[in-house]
């Protein structure tokens, strides 16, 4: 590699951002800075935080330590604006940074919130749900949980709460999963969907399809009837955080930045993970750890290619498949290529994937102490 002196700023220290810093951090002649507000949160571990399989330290790890270990600088803060003409960033609080190359890996934020409702994206959100269950789950009372949004994270959240209730010996719960669409997970194969629905029923989850939840006139309404859940969480819909500071490149609906095949968004700006709207075979790539991991690597390598005056390489994501865990039954169902996985073996695979994609060895060791993950505790 030739000698150059370029400043690269990576926004976000999640799956994509940390992979990118591993590629760029120790390259000679590059000054790499990662900006992120706090800990790196291992989102697939949030349900386990609710039922106490993992403590917070397993799920939320010290980003600054990992980033510095990769030879880069860490700035704790949140990007508020990017001036692409001047190649500068402004953080909330006013700190300014300059860049020659920018890699956006800022993940997702909730697409909308409701008054009095929680969200499920961070360790603090998972801890808040856990605290509420422990406070309100008293003998003689019925705990009502209402989860709005029947996607992957809605299923994970509701089944994690059922498991916590069982663990503390509190069985009088009403657990409702509300979905506006006529079916759950429309892109999922019918075989997996059938098994997922059967397991939700076994877990005692009431699935309410074609249902509308609203907050109006100071009250909550489900299909027009007034409801008063003890715990209300919205998991319906995510939006890319990048839409806040780079709105000119964001897709109107998803907020994700539109990129070319090499993850390039604009002059000297690349994006990866949930931040990017990458279209493959006519469909946007789903938001997943695996795509973020390889996207972060590809975007970082393309920054190096561009600095060295070499052609950029296309991002060629391979779908590793998916698993839908039900923490109440300890089973997960999913598919990889032509192969179907299910039951406790599926849950073991889900735990192993977490181990493979952990942010660092320290976190891996902590996750290991939680396997076998299918065992009811």
Does 107 engage in binding with ligand FAD (CB under 6 A)?
Answer: yes
Kindly state the number of chain residues that form the binding site for ligand FAD, as judged by CB under 6 A: 33
Task: Give CA–CA dist 147/135, Å, rounded.
Answer: 18
Does 257 engage in binding with ligand FAD (CB under 6 A)?
Answer: no
Q: Is residue 210 within 8 Å of 184, Cβ to Cβ? A: no
Does 363 engage in binding with ligand FAD (CB under 6 A)?
Answer: no
Does 99 engage in binding with ligand FAD (CB under 6 A)?
Answer: no
- Report in angstroms how near the CB of residue 98 gets to ligand FAD at its nearest: 16
Does 12 engage in binding with ligand FAD (CB under 6 A)?
Answer: yes
- Phi first, then psi: give them for residue 220, nearest 5 degrees: -105, 140
Tell me which residue has tokens 């889900």. 350
Does 62 engage in binding with ligand FAD (CB under 6 A)?
Answer: no
Task: Give CA–CA dist 52/42, Å, rounded.
Answer: 15
Of residues 248, 284, 244, the one with CA closest to residue 110: 244
Number of Cβ atoms within 10 Å of the Cβ of 301: 19
Q: Is residue 143 within 8 Å of 170, Cβ to Cβ? A: yes
Nearer to ligand FAD, 82 or 143 (CB): 82
Nearer to ligand FAD, 3 or 187 (CB): 187
Does 179 engage in binding with ligand FAD (CB under 6 A)?
Answer: no
Task: Give CA–CA dist 254/257, Å, rounded.
Answer: 9
- Report in angstroms how near the CB of residue 201 gets to ligand FAD at its nearest: 22
Number of Cβ atoms within 10 Å of the Cβ of 28: 10
Does 59 engage in binding with ligand FAD (CB under 6 A)?
Answer: no
Nearer to ligand FAD, 227 or 262 (CB): 262
Task: Give CA–CA dist 325/342, Å, rounded.
Answer: 9
Does 156 engage in binding with ligand FAD (CB under 6 A)?
Answer: yes
By CB under 6 A, name the binding residues for ligand FAD.
11-17, 35-37, 40, 43-44, 46, 78-79, 105-108, 120-121, 153, 156, 241, 273-275, 287-290, 292
């Amino acid at each position: 590699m030739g000698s150059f002196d370029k400043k690269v700023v990576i926004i976000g220290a999640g799956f994509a951002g940390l992979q990118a810093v591993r590629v760029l951090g120790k390259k000679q002649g590059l000054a790499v800075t990662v900006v992120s507000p706090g800990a790196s949160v291992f989102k697939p571990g949030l349900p386990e935080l609710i039922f106490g399989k993992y403590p917070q330290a397993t799920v939320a790890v010290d980003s600054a330590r990992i980033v510095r270990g990769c030879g880069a600088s860490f700035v704790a803060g949140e990007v508020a604006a990017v001036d692409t003409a001047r190649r500068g960033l402004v953080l909330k609080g006013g700190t300014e940074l300059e860049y020659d190359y920018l890699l956006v890996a800022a993940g997702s934020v909730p697409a909308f919130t409701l008054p009095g409702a929680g969200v499920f994206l961070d360790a603090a959100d998972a801890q808040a749900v856990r605290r509420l269950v422990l406070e309100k789950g008293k003998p003689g009372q019925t705990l009502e949980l209402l989860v709005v949004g029947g996607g992957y994270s809605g299923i994970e959240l509701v089944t994690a709460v059922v498991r916590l209730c069982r663990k503390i010996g509190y069985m009088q719960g009403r657990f409702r999963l509300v979905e506006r669409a006529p079916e759950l997970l429309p892109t999922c194969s019918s075989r997996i969907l059938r098994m997922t629905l059967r397991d939700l029923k076994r877990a005692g989850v009431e699935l309410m399809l074609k249902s509308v939840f609203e907050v109006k006139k100071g009250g909550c309404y489900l299909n027009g009837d007034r409801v008063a859940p003890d715990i209300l969480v919205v998991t319906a819909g995510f939006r890319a955080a990048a839409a806040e500071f780079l709105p000119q490149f964001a897709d109107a609906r998803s907020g994700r930045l539109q990129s070319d095949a090499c993850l390039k968004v604009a002059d000297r700006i690349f994006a990866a993970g949930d931040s990017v709207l990458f279209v493959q075979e006519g469909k946007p790539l789903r938001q997943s750890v695996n795509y973020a991991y390889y996207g972060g690597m590809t975007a970082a390598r393309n920054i190096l290619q561009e600095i060295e005056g070499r052609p950029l390489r296309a991002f060629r994501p391979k779908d590793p498949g998916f698993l839908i865990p039900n923490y109440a039954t300890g089973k997960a169902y999913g598919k990889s290529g032509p192969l179907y996985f299910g039951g406790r073996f599926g849950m073991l695979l889900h735990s192993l994937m977490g181990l493979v994609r952990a942010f660092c060895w320290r976190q891996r060791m902590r996750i290991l102490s939680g396997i076998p993950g299918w065992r009811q505790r």
